[in-house]
């Protein structure tokens, strides 16, 4: 009888140990997937803010108005820094959006004489080091 009780106890403890390892692994994997999803949401948020600000600045230039040389804007957790340089008949604009260590940069060149966009470059989301 004692031998059967010992075998049953070892069997139950083995099953509990296997379940604990499986659940720990599941929690670890879930946490990693959640962190990657959170990073993707930060990338998308940065990109949306940078694109929105850059398009607004382009509309201002298309209306024939001038932009401020440097600005810094805050949208919730996103900091958007803009830099505008006018060189001859070209306006060179750089928009950088940051959330923590995630960043997105958009640059474009606008011809102020021909009143048209010459170049648009979206560097996509990245990580600030």
Render pLDDT for 105-121 as a digit per residue (tens, 0 to 9).
999 999 999 999 999 99
Q: Are 96 and 81 in contact (CB under 8 A)?
A: yes
Q: What is the dihedral of CA 65, 69, 75, 77, to 10 degrees?
A: 160
| pTM passes above 0.85 | no
Q: Are 66 and 88 in contact (CB under 8 A)?
A: no
Q: How many CB atoms lie within 10 A of CB 78?
A: 20
The per-residue pLDDT for range 3-42, each reduced to its tens digit, is 677 788 888 889 989 898 888 988 888 877 776 777 888 8
Which residue reads 């997105």 in tokens? Answer: 104
Angstrom distance (rounded) from CA 38 to CA 27: 16
């Amino acid at each position: 009888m004692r031998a059967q009780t010992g075998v049953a106890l070892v069997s139950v403890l083995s099953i509990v140990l296997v379940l604990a390892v499986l659940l720990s692994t599941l929690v670890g994997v879930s946490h990693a997937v959640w962190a990657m999803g959170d990073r993707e949401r930060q990338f998308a948020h940065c990109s949306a803010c940078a694109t929105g600000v850059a398009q607004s600045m382009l509309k201002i230039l298309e209306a024939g108005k001038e932009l401020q040389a440097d600005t810094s804007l805050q949208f919730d957790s996103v900091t958007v820094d803009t830099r505008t340089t006018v060189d001859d008949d070209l306006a060179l604009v750089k928009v950088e959006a940051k959330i923590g260590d995630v960043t997105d940069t958009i640059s474009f060149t606008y011809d102020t004489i021909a009143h048209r966009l010459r170049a648009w470059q979206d560097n996509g989301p990245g990580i600030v080091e």
